[in-house]
Amino acid sequence: MQAVIVRGMKEDIKRLQAIRNIGFIAHIDAGKTTTTERVLFYTGRVHRIGEVDEGTATTDWMPQEKERGITITSAATYCKWGNYRINIIDTPGHVDFTAEVERSLKVLDGAIVILCAQGGVEPQSETVWRQADKYEVPRIVFVNKMDKVGADLFNCEREIGEKLGAIPLVMQLPIYKDDQFVGVIDLLKEKTVYYEDEAGIGYSYREIPGDLISLAKEYREKMIEKLSERDDSVMERFIEGKQIPEAKLIDSIRKLTLSRQIFPVFCGSALKNKGIQLLLDGICRYLPSPLDKPLVSVFDQEGNKREIEIIKSSFFCGLCFKVAIDPYVGKLNYVRIYSGKIESGSYLYNSTKKIRERVNKIVRMHANKQELIEKAFSGEIVCLAGLKDTTTGDTLCEEGKTLLLEKIHFPEPVISQAIEPVFRKDQDKLSLALAKLAEEDPTFRVFYNSETGQTIISGMGKLHLEIAVDKLKRFFGIETSVGKPQVAFRETITKKVVAKGEFIQQTGGKGHFARVILSLQPQDSLGIDFESKIKGGVIPQNFIPAVKKGVEEASLSGVLGGYPVTNLKVTLIDGAYHEVDSSDLDFQVAGNIAFTEGLKQANPVLLEPIMKLEVLVALEYLSPVLGDLNSKRAKIISIKDKANVKLIQAYIPLREVFDYADNLRNLTQGRGSYSMEPAFYERVPEEILHRVLGV
């Protein structure tokens, strides 16, 4: 029996060592989906190369993605390369859909950052890099579009160091013939790789051309120097002038990649079918298996955080990182399995919501296609059908286990607009559809403004809301009319106060009694943090969640303009109850009243979203563009030279740049380009405040 268990463990370890859970992340239009498509083709997962521009890419399956030629939702698929199984998530590059990147990186073991050889490290490249830093994800870099005019691998190398603060390890150099990109120099093997057909299927290793030998030697020495600075075993051989075996270099690169001390840099052209097979080799060699990231952050019942190694545990534990509504099978929960196994028909315990769930079906996803499987094991990414109440960020465990995995934190929406159905009969249908969209996307919010009687939807940008409205029409058959997009302002306070809320009604018979005293104080982090410091049973513990609920309800509408309240710590410090007349509802109302009263006393102010803006413009248009930005309350951070244009970096209120695309086009005769992303919230100036509030 013991021998069977040991053999089973060895087989499981061997299986885990061959798994790569990876994602492609990048700035918009760097070539993530095109690269994913080539990976699927060369691994035999698809038999015809799809193209983004033609709307035939495997992972861009949504109608909106096909029409716009951009990725909107992260798509999961898988393939095999040699003995390795690669689970892939292709993520969006557009800043409006950054939540898809956030939740993907939470569950991935490694990532491929794709850079455009022309654009280098672009704004969204920096954003996704920081997101990967947050989740401590090892990365390799693929410099794509080496066939384009102005492609510059060495500029990308420099910007990785300067903009990302990372150590790039150049693994390949490009080869050009008559200005055409024809192959790469493999610095590890000290050979060139030439592609022999247009589809990039056939390639061969040859000697390095004479005119490139010195450059190849220089970069190979740089590679070994960087390794020796961080790996003593390489340093010893390097100092002694000994030949370092290829296998030794591979081991060193892998070790330093996993610890995020270096980031291997590959190059190629996905569109021209060059460099993908070597990239696949790099993914398998250098990116981690689930065994390489054994520690997972968990919380116990008391809320204490600790790191435990659960990968080899026998009990099931997984994280739901995405919910998708499928028109045929209903709700699909994307789950990363961290330990144990699961079978269709079994029951799970949702330790986040403390409920029991039944798994009707387990499917492995290939974009929007489903492959039914009976079992799934640790290290895998699968979809579970049949879970009724599980949502994004929930922990799923074996029954009897109560672990809580660390939740995913999503950015706050920055733009809102009113929405209503064209036909009154669709009102209930619209409410249900919006609830489903909000369940799928944690950065899409819906709330009802009782003062105006309007349903308000909020998201990360104009495109985000456009896609949501389009989904309502295509998927749910609901025609809607929407208001003009509005900035998602927030309210906060500027001083600490103590406020009392009472709900007391005693008119004979059972009455209502609840008294709540709250401390409100400003804090730097977004959202509302609630804490109870009640001692001695002044308020029974079972009423405290009701107080919290009342505070949360009140925080949805502030006292200045009815905007949600944020950057606030609320502490329940005192109160009173009645043994007969007090109820949950009474304390909910009292909590609501105390919070609202506290806001009025605490010098409330309005906050507006500030965007980080980057504008590329020719020198001749620099002055008018700067003048326009200054008129829009922009704070210029820097003006740099980039190739033959000027790069302007600035912080600017979102309210000022709703129509910036048209504005910039007019100022530069269509020759300027820009990108922007949410940066932070900032207090609205007094003169603007009166305009916003209409006072």
Q: Please compute the mean of the pLDDT values over residues 440-446 and round it to a whole number.
A: 88
Q: Please compute the mean of the pLDDT values over residues 272-279 and round it to a whole number.
A: 94
**What pLDDT digit, counting tens, does each position of 518-527 carry?**
999 999 888 8
Report the candidate in 81, 66, 135, 69 with the shortest Cα–Cα distance to residue 104: 135
Measured between alpha carbons, how far is 391 from 413 in angstroms, rounded to an integer? 19
Higher pLDDT, 69 or 274: 274
Q: Which pLDDT score is estimated for 71?
A: 60
Q: Which pLDDT score is estimated for 607?
A: 92
Count of CB atoms situated within 10 Å of the CB of 643: 13
Alpha carbon of residue 572 to chain centroid: 34
Orientation angle between helical segments 276-286 and 246-258, nearest 10 degrees: 70
For the ranges 90-99, 287-296, 479-488, which has the lowest average pLDDT? Answer: 90-99
Exposed e or buried b per residue across 323-345, where buried means at least 16 C-beta atoms within 10 angstroms of its C-beta: bbbeeeeebbbbbbbbbbbbebe
Q: Which pLDDT score is estimated for 3?
A: 41
Q: Please compute the mean of the pLDDT values over residues 377-400 and round it to a whole number.
A: 89
Residue 695: pLDDT over 60: no
Q: Please compute the mean of the pLDDT values over residues 633-661 and round it to a whole number.
A: 86
The fraction of the chain above a pLDDT of 70, given in percent, is 92
Q: Which pLDDT score is estimated for 310?
A: 67
Residue 301 CB partners (closer than 8 Å, separation 6+): 402
Q: Which pLDDT score is estimated for 580?
A: 85
Residue 551: pLDDT over 90: yes
Q: Which pLDDT score is estimated for 249?
A: 94
Specify the pairing of strand 305-309 against strand 295-299. antiparallel
Q: Which pLDDT score is estimated for 63?
A: 61
Summary mean pLDDT of the chain: 86
Q: Please compute the mean of the pLDDT values over residues 237-243 and round it to a whole number.
A: 80
Residue 398: pLDDT over 80: yes
Q: Please compute the mean of the pLDDT values over residues 489-510 and round it to a whole number.
A: 88
Q: Which pLDDT score is estimated for 4?
A: 38
Q: Which pLDDT score is estimated for 441?
A: 87
Measured between alpha carbons, how far is 603 from 24 in angstroms, rounded to an integer? 46
**What pLDDT digit, counting tens, does each position of 278-310 carry?**
999 999 999 999 999 877 877 766 667 777 776
Q: Are 104 and 32 in contact (CB under 8 A)?
A: no
Residue 401: pLDDT over 80: no
Q: Which pLDDT score is estimated for 115?
A: 95
Alpha carbon of residue 638 to chain centroid: 27
Q: How confident is the model at residue 262 (pLDDT cuts 50, 70, 90)?
A: very high
Measured between alpha carbons, how far is 642 from 543 in angstroms, rounded to an integer? 60
Residue 5: pLDDT over 50: no
Q: Are 631 and 656 in contact (CB under 8 A)?
A: no
Q: Which pLDDT score is estimated for 673?
A: 77
Top mean pLDDT of 126-140, 244-258, 458-472 is at 244-258
**What pLDDT digit, counting tens, does each position of 333-384 carry?**
999 998 888 999 999 999 888 899 999 999 988 877 888 899 998 889 999 9
Q: How confident is the model at residue 491 (pLDDT cuts 50, 70, 90)?
A: very high
Amino acid at position 111, single letter: A
**What pLDDT digit, counting tens, does each position of 56-84 carry?**
556 555 566 556 666 666 778 889 999 99
Q: How confident is the model at residue 645 (pLDDT cuts 50, 70, 90)?
A: confident
Q: Which pLDDT score is estimated for 65?
A: 56
Q: How confident is the model at residue 20 (pLDDT cuts 50, 70, 90)?
A: very high
Q: Please compute the mean of the pLDDT values over residues 591-607 and round it to a whole number.
A: 95
Measured between alpha carbons, how far is 123 from 614 in angstroms, rounded to an integer? 7
The fraction of the chain above a pLDDT of 90, given in percent, is 45
Q: How confident is the model at residue 2 (pLDDT cuts 50, 70, 90)?
A: very low
Q: Please compute the mean of the pLDDT values over residues 123-130 and round it to a whole number.
A: 83
Q: Which pLDDT score is estimated for 7?
A: 46
Measured between alpha carbons, how far is 61 from 55 in angstroms, rounded to an integer? 8
Report the candidate in 555, 535, 654 with the shortest Cα–Cα distance to residue 602: 555
